[in-house]
Amino acid sequence: MRRFFFRKSFAIAMTAIIILVAFFLFVRKIAYISVPDSYEALNSDKIKQNVKVYFNAFGIPAIEAANEQDLFFATGYLHARDRLWQMDIMRRTAFARLSEIFGKETLELDKFFKTLSFADIVRKSKARLDKKTLAALDAYSAGINKFIEEHSSELSFEFQALDYLPENWSPSDCIAISKLMAFDMSIGFINDICIAEISEITGVRNALSLITKTTFDSPCVCDPYANPPKKFKHPKPPVDSLSQHIQDSLKTALHSENIFGNLHSLLRNSALTYNSGGSNSVVVKSSNDSNSLILANDPHLKLQLPSYWYQMQAISPKFNVTGLMLPGSPFFLIGRNKHIAWGITVLMLDDCDFFIERIADNNEKYYLTPGGKKKFKYRADTIKIKGEEPLYFYTRLTERSAVISDNYIMKSPQYLLDLKNDTSADYSFYDKFLLTYSWTGSRASRELQSLYEVNKARNWKGFNRALNKWASPGLNWTYADKNGNMGIKPAGIVPRRNKTNPLIPNPGWMQDYSWKGFIMPKDLPKIYNPPKGFVASTNNKTSRSFGTFISYYYEPPSRIRRIEEIIRLQKYFGIRDAQILQLDNYSYYAREMLFHVLPILNKYSNRFSKAERKAFAELTKWDYIFSPAYVGPTIWNSFYKHLIYNTFYNKMGERLFRSFTYISWFSASKVLSMVRNNDSLWFDNIKTRKIEGRDDIVLKSFADAVSELINRFAQNDLSKWRLEHQQKLELNHLLSKNKFLKPAVDGGTYIMPGTYTAINKADWHPYTDYKVSVGASARFVTDMSVPTVYFSILGGSSGDPKSPHYKDQALFFINGGYIKYNLAPSLNEDNTLGLEFFPE
């Protein structure tokens, strides 16, 4: 009996093991079904001649095609093979179709994008493209659809997890993704309304004081001469060189209209991921050849998986480019052809303004315009929701735009601010004011045609001609060519404002407050072969002499000052010098802040505890370098976080504080100006009886910082307080929020050097636990005298978590690694043939 029982138990156990093994193998097969074979051959009636695709060890493809249409077809196939789900999410975001796959969780986001009317913008923009660009987009779309057709049962696991299949691709989807990028880069869409909401709490004057103008001595992109080293003496700066009518508009808004005071009774309102980024782009002389140039570009974006960027080489007789692309477009945003190289940074253009519409005669059906009252139009909109009945609703429309306040994104702070169930949040602003907007991205435009022509440009003249077609987002395009010419071409359409206040909503019913057309890219300032011998752009001010308002939203000049300092010290650069420049962790901002803070702390140092004295000593000997092995930057980070919190939080509350600090340099510029000038009422904590000043807040923030670090590290031994234990990057996928999927998609946690004001940007929000969210997403360096590029991305070529190339560059990238990529020939010891297309 005992033997029988043993045999039976053994048989049951073995059966269970076999079932488990079979199940594991089945799951593994399903999981890896989307990973491409090492070699694939395909036939298509969409191509004319054979196409070969080679891959290096990182899965980076090089396409060789006999003509452009075949080249773009293969590009589309590769983008779909490696990034189809990422591309599908981007087009679903633009066209307000996320709820079809995510359910009610993304409903408010879809409603917001419905309000932006991307479908209309895309339709009008497509009609403006020339035949060559449309042909390229058609071929690219055909390649994507070929992949979908061939691999509908072998798609990446996200499609399986969400139980849906992708629809076919079209040129309209490419345009939609380019418009989504324009929205992502529009700072005013978030900041303008944030300032307006703060105005309701503190008054217009105090809210506008949060905008810190660039000082006169700050380096500008289009300066012909290098700026002298910064000396830390701060007399009152002269007035910035803005046009007089903009200064008048600010006075008018403050004194004449009093928009946020007297109009409450007259105005009534009826019942993404967004990027906070920047970039560095530099052209310097190469030590290899005095006539040759090195271009180095590192775009700063929100850090996530899959990577924003796709590395590739595309070769045909009339199109030969190597560089970085955004999946969803067949053209290169950053790259090099045989003649020129180019990089991009955000222009920081204020390309969006909001307007308050006034209800006419207390009749909700009508609103006032400069020409009299108009009737609201209503557009019937539908959003399909997974597992639910569709949502049918009407979008209110004016002559200017849809009524954005009905579905504004910040009414749902869970998307951008990661803030859920905040019952203390006040949204009454959106009940008081009926808001519309003007945005340059709403215009029908030809960015993809412009980019196509940039990719094929042979000289500065052709480069400029191509970018004169660029509308949105505003970008600074850095240029270098094989003949030793360098330059920066700002491109984007700039609103012509009359009395329009660019910072807070304007009265929509008054004639002089609407936009009066646009300044086109051909009329913007640019720089070409300047006497200083280099060009650089780091989201700093464009020009000190251009007579029209461009922006108040420039970043602190910390990065550009550091770049100019390094270039002054090193006249010529090699490739490795340019790479080291991109990895520099020194902060001029921290240096200048501590120039003012340390004397304050020293003045009251007799009050310090033992731990505070040690922390103070560390700060005094720190060299402003944000190295993982250093203690100084850890103390700085904590001090800065508490300084921002103690200065602004008590007046704003959780939601507005997160909104105000979401774009880090916005608050960083203001708090430095306040500490430097010691003249702001923002230092006072309104929740105490005492009227606090600068010294009070600085001392409290330092004490809070030391207390936090003692608790964090559970010891007073400052040698353990290294940056590597505080500042981390969690490289997440969009589906990481799902606890069941998180283990399968996460990219890991990494020690992150750098800071938000260093060339090697590592940015975190003050309301997070030093979790880096924005930084260098890619690095690209090329010497025009050598047929080679060096690049790497934070992630990998594939968007499939089960691919070996999903995150194989991540640790390599964070530690300063670059992939050397030869421009020709594509078939060499580094590359192997992995894919061929044959005409049917």
Picking from 558, 549, 542, 499, the residue whose alpha carbon sits closest to that of residue 519 is 549
The answer for residues whose C-beta is within 8 angstroms of residue 676's C-beta and 6 or more apart is 234, 592, 596
CA atoms of 80 and 42, how far apart (whole Å): 15
Give the global pTM. Answer: 0.90
Instruction: Provide mean pLDDT across the span 534-554.
Output: 91
Q: What angle (nearest 5°) sits at the alpha carbon of residue 95, between those of residues 91 and 100? A: 85
For residues 666 and 656, what is the distance between their CA atoms, to the nearest angstrom? Answer: 13
8 occurs within a structural domain = yes
Q: Residue 650's pLDDT is what? A: 92
Rounded to whole angstroms, the Cα distance separating 329 from 454 reads 14
Q: Is residue 820 part of a domain?
A: no
| Tokens (6 digits) for 662 | 């979401």
Range of lowest pLDDT (300-314, 700-714, 734-748): 734-748
Beta-carbon neighbour count of residue 635 at 10 Å?
24
- Domain limit, last residue, from 687, 711, 726: 726
Whether 721 is in a domain gets the answer yes
Let me know if residue 88 belongs to a domain. Answer: no
Asked if residue 707 has pLDDT above 90, the reply is yes
* Model pLDDT, residue 515: 95
Domain hosting residue 13, numbered range: 2-32
Ranked by mean pLDDT, which of 254-258, 275-279, 432-436 comes out on top?
432-436
Count of residues in the chain: 840
Q: How many domains does the chain have?
A: 2
**Structure confidence at residue 262 (pLDDT):** 32
CA distance 213 to 240: 7
Q: How far apart are CA 366 and CA 398, in angstroms?
A: 10
Residue 277: what pLDDT?
63
Question: What is the reported pLDDT for 737?
Answer: 83
Last residue of a domain, one of 676, 697, 726: 726
> Which H or E run includes 494?
strand 494-495
Mean pLDDT for 570-596 is 95
Q: Which whole number is the average pLDDT over 686-712?
A: 94
Q: What is the mean pLDDT of residues 741-768?
A: 93
Range from 122-131, 414-423, 730-739 that averages highest in pLDDT:
122-131
> Which of 726, 742, 776 is the last residue in one of the domains?
726
| Inside any domain, residue 673 | yes
pLDDT at position 836: 97
Of 474, 477, 454, nearest to 465 (Cα)? 454
Does residue 652 form part of some domain? yes
**The pLDDT of residue 5 is above 60:** no
- Diameter of the chain by CA atoms? 102
Mean pLDDT for 121-131 is 98
Q: Does pLDDT of 19 surpass 80?
A: no
Q: Is a pLDDT exceeding 60 seen at residue 243?
A: no
Q: What is the pLDDT of residue 29?
A: 46
Q: Is the residue at 600 inside a domain? A: yes
Buried b (16+ CB within 10 A) or exposed e, 195-233: bbbbbbebebeebbbbbbebeeebbbbbbeebbeebeee
Q: What is the DSSP letter of 257?
A: I
HSE-up of 448 (CA within 13 Å, CB side)? 33
Q: Select from 582, 84, 56 the least CA-distant residue to 306.
A: 84
Confidence (pLDDT) at 228: 66
Q: What is the mean pLDDT of residues 187-202?
A: 88
Residue 3 is predicted with a pLDDT of: 47
**Is there a domain that residue 772 lies in?**
no
Paired tokens of 599: 């004397």
Query: Average model confidence (pLDDT) for the chain?
Result: 88
For residue 829, the model assigns a pLDDT of 67
Q: What pLDDT is stored for residue 272 in this prediction?
A: 52
